[in-house]
Amino acid sequence: MIFNYSFGVILSSKNNFIFKKGILLIGIGLNLALLGYFKYANFFVEQLNLVIGTSYNLENIILPLAISFFTFQQISYLVDAYRHETREYNFLHYCLFVTFFPQLIAGPIVHHKEMLPQFANNDIYKANSKNLSIGLLIFTIGLFKKVIIADNLALFANPVFASLDNSGAITFFSAWSGALAYSFQLYFDFSGYSDMAIGIAYMFGIKLPMNFYSPYKSTSIIEFWRRWHITLSRFLRDYLYITMGGSRKGAYRRYVNLFVTMLIGGIWHGAGWTFIIWGGLHGVYLIINHSWRHTRVYILKWAPSASLIEVLLSTIVTFVAVTIAWVYFRAESLADANSLLSTMFGGNGISLPMSFIKYSELVNFNSAVSFFSFNGVYGDLIYQLESSLSWIIIAGLFVFLTPNSIQILQYIETKKLSKSNALPSYALTILVATIFAFVLSNLMKVSDFLYFNF
Amino acid sequence: MYKKLIVTFLFITTSLLFLIYIINMLIDPYVLSSSTGHISNQEIRITKPIKVLENSPQKVLIGNSRNNYSSDLIGEEHSNFYNLSLSGIGINEIAKLFYHAVYSNNSNLKLAYISLDSVCDPKDSLHESKFIDERFLIKPNNNTYSILFNKYALYTSYDTLILSIENATKGFLNEVGRQTIFNEGDYLAKGAAHALRKKEEITIGAKSNKKPAQSIIFEDYIKTCETKSLVKILDIAKKENIQLTFFINPVNVRYWEIQRQKNSLQHYLFNKIIIKKTIDASLIGAKNPIKVIDFRKLNKFTLERLSYHDAADLYYEYWYESSHFTNKFGEMITNVLQHDEYNNTAISSNLLDIDIEADFKQQLNSLKNWRLNNTDLVREIEQAKNCTQNSC
């Protein structure tokens, strides 16, 4: 922090351009070098060993908590100082900006422009019951998402991903159960964390940027990335995609820039081929999405409509594409991910309920006898997955039919509370307090947030 | 206005949590505040490790459901003994429980009786039993009673309340940690023959959802068998000077026949050979002699006749069903363990002293004779094996 703050002060002064560019490059380089060492050194040594057949071994490197997040925040500070977009900030406020505990570990990735002016406002250092009430509400929503929904979905996602090395253990329906359960688990886990961070910060009078806006309601991948991990997308867009030229240098360069940005987004999540493929896949999705939009509007002259069928179809296609990519994001290895995806598309046959065996005589299954089996819908994983469907449906209903926490926050913020309309507020308070007590009574053991790994 | 809302919020939240706590305190579903009491099958995994921390026993018995329901030490030994067995656990969890008993703060442990019904470690975490609750091993919550704030404890309190109303005169968990009423699968209430049928349908019928094992030779079997949990137990015992007595639980002859029909009978032999090899290797440098008392034999107790067609009100003398023996048989077993009477060849022998393969051949001969003389029972098992979900 001392180093970055000092560099920021130098960069925002009126020194000559070449000197400042040098300082900026050194600053970014040192930040990335630290991140590279702690997060990626082992991966690169492993790959080097594979390529040249050596057996170099680094000691176990302990990843500093939240390094990916505070590195990005500080790089954006340096770049903006270089662009003269920063003000003269107080050092203590700067330290608070980097280490502000609610969002330190897993975001939202905050920008100095939205945080430091708030820290300079003396009002936030006084207790405010309105902020406390609204903060508690948002925090409770986040806690509910994590403890009640995400942790229960994990019970169905984990056994599927854990048993990928047992050939034949996973069947068609169990593979889809695992993939869908993980899609929803990740959303509720991560957005739950963001809500809790936003809620806690709100209690202190600090407003954090939104990080999720119902991403699974997106009708395209482009829209998905405007709604999922919004602060990361914003960082990648402002400091990587636009810096590389964005869409200013023609369609071809735009696609290359998009692909590279998403690839780096993937690597940011972790050192491994699965993250690289995940990022690359989203890069390809975005290229296809942009090309399709262009073709549709300018070549086919087919204007987008808001018909229910089109919205529904687009939402389903987007959600399935995102779910397929999440398989790479979650799997331990490429082989595991490929194996699960192959099963999801029938590569391991379809196992039906045992009671269906009687229909095998009525319908001519002979030609496909090896494709269908009758070992139960979930095959060997029946005990872990038998109630997965109901949980996936519950999660889906929350995702697709309920307002998100930002919409709730905006509604509450604009509502004026007075004695005449106090009754609904008391009713809401009792409901939220009951949910809060219910969630607390569910706390059984430590359950980390998925994004703590990144 | 907002202040009032915050006060309401805090009041409702704390009131609800305390309500849960008070109900749970009164019903005590984990038997935390007394030495005996009603307990559900699930929650015993929480109570037993805590009781070991509180009681610091000198002797423990760690086994699976067979021992959870049927093993006490008798006489004055009672006060120094605790039965740490839990249903559904395997060697991996047994090793964890042994570690817990040895390294708990005030441990007085001198002797452990440990069941080795299956010695191979699970292939992966998916096949590992999740029954044990690791939160309560060695380092329980700073305040054990904090688990009473939990909604699961509230559900358990409800179950316990029902249990205590239905069985008002019977204790479920006795003071040495034995569950005194067999409720494995909760089907004994309809009679022993019913329990027998249900258990076997689940074990070998289509409901088991398992493919029949392929016949396998020892060389292939040993490749799939890791013994790190057993080695861990042996190492800890050697290091901490704990006397070990291993044992293999008996099963009824019907269960032998089930394994035969599933092509798994040879596993009994392989298990014993692996135990002997592992322990022989570990005995070098050990201060305390180790015994492995083998009760998995065919004798007049294990040959007790059990049939699906027996009357509903008939309860067997030595068996709840084919794989779980009654406390009466359990007392005979613990008597052998307790008094080193393992050379009582009627029911046991020390595995380390005998020719395992010759002994197993002898058992197979007994099984063959039994099959010839009990064709009706053999047929029952075959039918159970072929039953489908609907026909069972």
**What per-residue confidence (pLDDT) applies to B221?**
83
Most confident of A19-33, A39-53, B192-206: A19-33
Between A446 and B275, name the one with better pLDDT. B275
Distance CA A232, CA A235 (A): 5
Residue A389 class from Cβ within 10 Å (0-12 exposed, 13-18 middle, 19+ buried)? middle
Q: Please identify every residue of A annotated as catalytic.
A: 269
My answer on whether omega of the bond before A108 falls inside 30° of 0, hence cis, is yes
Q: Which two tokens stand for residue A152?
A: 């229960």
> How are beta strands B324-325 and B319-321 bridged, if at all?
antiparallel
Least CB–CB distance from A437: residue in B17, B206, B209: B17
Alpha carbon distances (Å) from B204 to A171, B211, B388: 22, 9, 11
Residue type, A29: G
CA atoms lying within 13 Å on the CB side of residue B178: 21
Q: Do A376 and B135 touch (CB under 8 A)?
A: no
Residue type, B295: F
**What per-residue confidence (pLDDT) applies to A125?**
86
B179: pLDDT strictly greater than 90: no
Q: Tens digit of pLDDT for each residue in A312-337? A: 999 999 999 999 999 999 998 898 99
Q: Which two tokens stand for residue B119?
A: 């010695």
CA-based nearest residue to B114, from B56, B165, B150, B66: B66
> Mutate which of A158, A174, A438, A440 to disrupt the B interface (most B C-beta within 10 Å)?
A440
Q: Tens digit of pLDDT for each residue in A259-291? A: 999 999 998 888 789 999 999 999 999 999 999
B15: pLDDT strictly greater than 90: yes
> Mutate which of A140, A336, A436 to disrupt the B interface (most B C-beta within 10 Å)?
A436
Q: Tens digit of pLDDT for each residue in B159-177? A: 888 877 776 556 588 888 9
Q: How far is A208 from chain B (nearest CA, A)?
A: 21
Please name the residue of chain B whose CA is at the shortest distance from the CA of residue A168.
B211
3-state secondary structure of B292: strand
Q: What is the mean pLDDT of residues A130-159?
A: 91
How would you classify residue B193: left for phi > 0, otherwise alpha for psi between -120 and 50, otherwise beta?
alpha
Q: Do A433 and B150 touch (CB under 8 A)?
A: no
**What per-residue confidence (pLDDT) applies to A418?**
67
Q: How far is A424 from chain B (nearest CA, A)?
A: 11
Measure the N-to-C terminal CA separation of chain A; round to a whole number of Å: 20
A19: pLDDT strictly greater than 90: no
CA-based nearest residue to B60, from B97, B116, B113: B113
3-state secondary structure of B319: strand
Q: Do A355 and B389 touch (CB under 8 A)?
A: yes
What is B241-258 written as a DSSP string? T-EEEEEE----HHHHHH
Distance CA B305, CA A265 (A): 68
> How are beta strands B319-321 and B291-294 bridged, if at all?
unpaired
Distance CA B259, CA B266 (A): 8
- Phi and psi of A324, rounded to 5°? -60, -45
**What per-residue confidence (pLDDT) applies to B97?**
94
B126 contacts chain A (CB < 8 A): yes
Report angle CA A422, A426, A431 to the nearest 5 degrees.
150
Q: Out of A37-51, A244-258, B7-21, which region has the weakest mean confidence (pLDDT)?
A: A37-51
**What per-residue confidence (pLDDT) applies to A52?**
82
* Residues facing B83 on adjacent strands: B61
3-state secondary structure of B31: coil
**What per-residue confidence (pLDDT) applies to A285?**
96
**What per-residue confidence (pLDDT) applies to B86?**
92
Taking each helix axis from N to C end, the angle separating A334-344 and A273-294, rounded to the nearest 10 degrees, works out to: 50
B255: pLDDT strictly greater than 70: yes
Q: Tens digit of pLDDT for each residue in B71-93? A: 888 766 567 899 999 988 999 99
Q: Do B154 and A422 touch (CB under 8 A)?
A: no
B3 contacts chain A (CB < 8 A): yes
**What per-residue confidence (pLDDT) applies to A224?**
96
Which chain B residues are Cβ-neighbours of A442 within 8 angstroms? Answer: 150-151
In B45-74, the residues whose Cβ lies within 8 Å of chain A are none
Q: Tens digit of pLDDT for each residue in A421-448? A: 777 788 889 999 999 999 988 886 666 6
**A363 band by pLDDT with thresholds 50, 70 and 90:** low
* CB neighbourhood size of A51 (10 A): 8
CA-based nearest residue to A298, from A308, A290, A287, A288: A290
B312: pLDDT strictly greater than 60: yes
**B36 band by pLDDT with thresholds 50, 70 and 90:** confident
Contact partners, residue B365, CB within 8 Å, separation at least 6: none
Least CB–CB distance from A436: residue in B13, B123, B151: B13
Least CB–CB distance from B152: residue in A166, A436, A444: A444
Q: Tens digit of pLDDT for each residue in B187-199? A: 666 778 888 888 8
Q: What is the mean pLDDT of residues A23-52?
A: 87
B271: pLDDT strictly greater than 90: yes
B263: pLDDT strictly greater than 90: no
Most confident of A131-135, A158-162, B41-45: A131-135
Q: Which two tokens stand for residue B381?
A: 């098992």
Q: Out of A336-350, B37-51, B115-129, which region has the weakest mean confidence (pLDDT)?
A: B115-129
Residue B45 class from Cβ within 10 Å (0-12 exposed, 13-18 middle, 19+ buried)? buried
Question: pTM value?
Answer: 0.76
Q: Are B323 and B203 in contact (CB under 8 A)?
A: yes
**What per-residue confidence (pLDDT) applies to A213?**
93
Taking each helix axis from N to C end, the angle separating A250-269 and A67-82, rounded to the nearest 10 degrees, works out to: 140
3-state secondary structure of B124: coil
Q: How far is A103 from chain B (nearest CA, A)?
A: 24
**What per-residue confidence (pLDDT) applies to B126?**
57
Contact partners, residue B285, CB within 8 Å, separation at least 6: B238
Q: Tens digit of pLDDT for each residue in A389-425? A: 888 999 999 999 999 999 998 888 887 766 667 777 8
Residue B59 is inside which H or E element, if any?
Answer: strand B59-62
Positive/negative CA dihedral, A378, A384, A388, A389: positive
A167: pLDDT strictly greater than 60: no
B18 contacts chain A (CB < 8 A): no
B387: pLDDT strictly greater than 80: no
Q: Tens digit of pLDDT for each residue in A177-195? A: 999 999 999 999 999 999 9
Contact partners, residue B172, CB within 8 Å, separation at least 6: B37, B38, B39, B163, B179, B180, B181
B289: pLDDT strictly greater than 90: no
Q: Do A444 and B2 touch (CB under 8 A)?
A: no
Which chain B residues are Cβ-neighbours of A354 within 8 angstroms? Answer: 206, 388-389
Count, residues in chain A: 454
**B384 band by pLDDT with thresholds 50, 70 and 90:** confident
**What per-residue confidence (pLDDT) applies to A60?**
76
Q: Tens digit of pLDDT for each residue in B106-141? A: 888 999 999 999 898 876 665 667 778 777 777 766
Helices (H), B1-107: 2-27, 44-55, 65-70, 91-103
Q: Which two tokens stand for residue A161?
A: 């991903």
**What per-residue confidence (pLDDT) applies to A237?**
92
Residue B294 is inside which H or E element, if any?
Answer: strand B291-294
**What per-residue confidence (pLDDT) applies to A359?**
67
Q: Out of A221-225, A408-412, B66-70, which region has the weakest mean confidence (pLDDT)?
A: A408-412
What 8-state DSSP symbol labels residue B173? B
Q: Do B124 and A166 touch (CB under 8 A)?
A: yes
3-state secondary structure of B285: coil
Please name the residue of chain A whose CA is at the shortest distance from the CA of residue B15.
A437
Distance CA A46, CA A36 (A): 14
Q: Do B389 and A438 touch (CB under 8 A)?
A: no
Alpha carbon distances (Å) from B260 to B77, B118, B379: 39, 17, 13
Least CB–CB distance from B126: residue in A162, A418, A434: A162
Number of H helices, E strands in chain B: 13, 8
Q: Which two tokens stand for residue A166?
A: 């047992």
